[in-house]
Chains A and B, each alone.
Chain A
Amino acid sequence: MLEIKNLHARIGDAEILKGVTLTIPDGEIHAIMGPNGAGKSTLSYVLSGREGYEVTKGEVIFNGENILEMEPEDRAAAGLFLAFQYPVELPGVGNANFLRTSLNAIRRKRGEEELDAVAFLKLARAAVRQLAMKEDFLKRNVNVGFSGGEKKRNEMLQMAILKPHLAILDETDSGLDIDALKIVAEGVNALRDEKFSALVITHYQRLLDHIVPDVVHVLAGGKIVRSGPASLALELEASGYAGLEVA
C-alpha cells in the first residue's frame, strides 16, 4: 500500500507539489490525469527518489516504510518501479546485461539468490516474446537508437522482469501504436494481483480502456483536485480540465 500524505516538493525556488494526498491500497490501479505542467512527472520522480527535488512537507509510506529517506536503489528493492516518461539512453551498456544487473541487485538486497546467465536469459527471452519485441532488443544498447515506442516497450520489459509491487507508469502510452498499447496493458494486467498496485499517469482515455483503473485522480496545480471512478476519465475527455484547478 502506498500512502502519500500532504506532500509538498520544490525544485529550486519553485514549489511544484503543493500538498498531494493519495492512497493506493494493494491490488488497486489508480490513474492520474491532469494538464501539462501540473506536476505529474515531478510526483513520480519524488516517489522514486531522484535528486534535485526538495520535499518540504508531508510523507510517503510504502508498505509501512517512510520511503522519502531511502536511496532510489533501496526503493526499487522495496518494490517500487518507475516507467520513465523519457527513458534514458545508455550507450555502451547492453540491454541484457543491464536487466540482469538490475534484477540481481534487487534480489541481492532482498536476500534472494542471484540468477545465473542461463536462467536469466530464459526469463528475459520469455518476457521479450510476451511483449512482442524483437529478439535483438536484448543485445542492443539500452534504449540507444530505439524508436519512441520501442523505448516504452523496453520500460515494460524491465517491469515484467523486475516484478514490482508498485509500478508508476509515466505516460507509457504516449507514442505507442495501437498494438503496442494493448501489449503494454497486457503487461500491466499480467502483474495484477492482490499484492500489486499501479499508478498510471496518462493524458488519454484509450489506455484506460485496456487497464481499467479503480480510481481516477486529477492532478492540477500541484494538488489532487478531484478523484472518482473510471468513468471520471471519460467525463474529463469530454469536458477538459477547465475549472478544476481552483478546487
Chain B
Amino acid sequence: MVALPTKKLEAWRYTDLRPLSAVTFGAPPAAAATPDLPDLPFPRFVFLNGVLNAALSSGFAYAKPFVPVEGQGTQPMALINADYAQDGINIEIPAGQDAGELLLISQSDGITPFAFHPRHRVKLGQGAKFALIELNQGEGTYWQNAVFEVEVAEGAKFQHFRLQEESVEAFNTTTIYADIEGQGSYEHFTLTLGARISRTEIEANLLGQNALAHLNAAQLLGGTQHGDFTTIIRHKAPNCPSRQTVKSVLAGKAHAVFQGKIEVDQIAQKTDGYQMSQALLLSPETEMDIKPELQIFADDVKCSHGATIGALDEEQVFYLRSRGIPEAEARQILIRAFLEEALEPVTHDASKALFEEVLESWWTKQ
C-alpha cells in the first residue's frame, strides 16, 4: 500500500493519521442489519460495507457499470484508492438532460475493522443538470476512502450535497476532483458530524469563462473528533467566481481544520474569489486551524478571505436573558442560529430538510 501521509507533509500538517495507521483493516464483514433508509422520493444506490446492494438500490437511467481505475489523481489518499477501488457509481448525464436527484447511500457496520475505497465518476454533458445527495452512515470501526471524479461540461450544473455521519470510531477520507468548463457550475456542501477522523479534500479546476465553484462545508464535532476540509480552487480562465463558506461548531476536545487555497492563473482576469471561515468554540479545549492561501498571477482580480473564531457573544446572551429566556436556553438558541446559517448554502430543498433533521437530532444529543 502507498504510505499514509504524515504531518511532515505541508498539506497534512494539521491532520494526524496515526490513529488510522494503528488499525489493522480486514476484509468487509457481511452486512448484518438492513439500514434505515431515508424517506426521499429519489432513485438510489445503496452500498453496504462498501459493496453495492442491488436489492436496496433502484435503477437510474444514467448509470453505467463501474469502470476500473486508470489512476487519476496525485493526492496520497487518491493513490491508495486507485490501488484498491473495486466499486463505485459511474454516472453520465447526456447533454441537455435534467437528471434530477440521485441518492448515494453508504451504510457500514464495522463489527471487525474493514476498509473500502469507492471510486465514483460523475460526468455531465453540455447544459445537463444533476443533484447528488450523499449519506454516509455506520457503526463500529471502518475506513471509507472515497474518490470522486467529476466532469462538468459547458453550461452544466452539478449539485453535490454530502452528509458525513459515519460512526465516531470510523475514518472517512474523501478526495474530489472536479473539472468545470465555461458557464458550468459545481455546488458542493459537506455536513460533517461523524467519524473519529475525517477529511474532505477537493480540487476544483475552473476551465472556461464564468465557470463557478461553490465549495461549502459545516462541521459539527464533539468529543475527540477531528474534521478537515481542504480545498484547492484553480482559476484557469477569466471571469470565474468561486465561493466558500465553512462553519464549524466545536465541543469537547474536537479539532477542525479548514485549508483553502485559491490559485489564479495569469489569464484568469476578473476572478472573483470569496472565502469565509467561521468557528464557534463551545469549550476551551477545542482547536480550530484555518489556513487560507492565495496564489495570484493575474492583476485584475478580486479575492477575499475572512475568518472568525470564538465563543458565543455574551452581549447576545444577555439580550436574550433580559427578555426572560433562561441562560442555557439562550445559549442553545444562539448555537442553533449559527448552525441554521451554516445550512444557508444548501440551495436544494429536500437536502436542506434532511440536513435540518440531522442537525436537530445532533443537537438533542449534545
Known interface pairs A51-B314, A73-B327. Does A91 touch B341 (Cβ–Cβ under 8 Å)? Answer: yes
Known interface pairs A91-B341, A93-B333. Does A109 touch B322 (Cβ–Cβ under 8 Å)? Answer: no
A50, A87, A93, A109: which contacts B324 (Cβ < 8 A)? A109
Which of chain A's residues have a CB closer than 8 A to the CB of B338? 92
Tell me the B318-366 residues at the A interface (CB within 8 Å).
318-327, 329-330, 333-334, 336-341
A48, A91, A101, A103: which contacts B322 (Cβ < 8 A)? A48
Contact A76 B341 (CB under 8 A): no
* A83 and chain B: residue at smallest CB distance: B322
Q: Which of A72, A81, A87, A98 has the most CB of B within 10 A?
A: A72
Q: A172 in the interface, Cβ–Cβ < 8 Å?
A: no
Interface residues on A, range: 20 to 34
Tell me the A49-92 residues at the B interface (CB within 8 Å).
49-51, 71-73, 75-77, 81-82, 84, 87-88, 90-92
Q: A232 in the interface, Cβ–Cβ < 8 Å?
A: no
Residue-by-residue, is A155-167 near B (CB-CB < 8 Å gives 1, otherwise 0)? Answer: 0001000100000
Q: A102 in the interface, Cβ–Cβ < 8 Å?
A: yes
Which of chain A's residues have a CB closer than 8 A to the CB of B327? 71, 73
Contact A105 B325 (CB under 8 A): yes
Which of chain B's residues have a CB closer than 8 A to the CB of A81? 322
Closest chain-A Cβ to B49's Cβ sits at a distance in Å of 38
Give how many A-B residue pairs fall within 8 Å (CB-CB). 73
Task: Give the docked Cα–Cα distance between A99 and B61 (Å).
Answer: 49
Residue-by-residue, is B300-316 near A (CB-CB < 8 Å gives 1, otherwise 0)? Answer: 00000000000000111
Q: A106 in the interface, Cβ–Cβ < 8 Å?
A: yes
Which of chain B's residues have a CB closer than 8 A to the CB of A88? 315-316, 318-319
Interface residues on B, range: 20 to 34
Task: Give the docked Cα–Cα distance between A98 and B320 (Å).
Answer: 8
Task: Give the docked Cα–Cα distance between A195 and B338 (Å).
Answer: 39
Q: Which of B321, B336, B341 has the most CB of A within 10 A?
A: B321
Residue-by-residue, is A129-161 near B (CB-CB < 8 Å gives 1, otherwise 0)? Answer: 000000000000000000000000000001000
Known interface pairs A50-B318, A72-B318. Does A91 touch B323 (Cβ–Cβ under 8 Å)? Answer: no
Tell me the A80-131 residues at the B interface (CB within 8 Å).
81-82, 84, 87-88, 90-93, 98, 101-103, 105-106, 109
Residue-by-residue, is A20-62 near B (CB-CB < 8 Å gives 1, otherwise 0)? Answer: 0000000000000000000000000000111100000000000
Contact A92 B325 (CB under 8 A): no
Contact B318 A73 (CB under 8 A): no
Which of chain B's residues have a CB closer than 8 A to the CB of A77? 324
With A72-B322, A102-B325, A105-B323 already in contact, 14 other A-B pairs whose C-beta atoms are closer than 8 Å: A71-B326, A71-B327, A72-B321, A73-B330, A75-B322, A76-B321, A77-B324, A88-B315, A88-B318, A88-B319, A91-B341, A92-B336, A105-B324, A105-B329
Instruction: Give the interface of A toward B (CB within 8 A).
Output: 48-51, 71-73, 75-77, 81-82, 84, 87-88, 90-93, 98, 101-103, 105-106, 109, 158, 162
Instruction: Give the interface of B toward A (CB within 8 A).
Output: 314-316, 318-327, 329-330, 333-334, 336-341
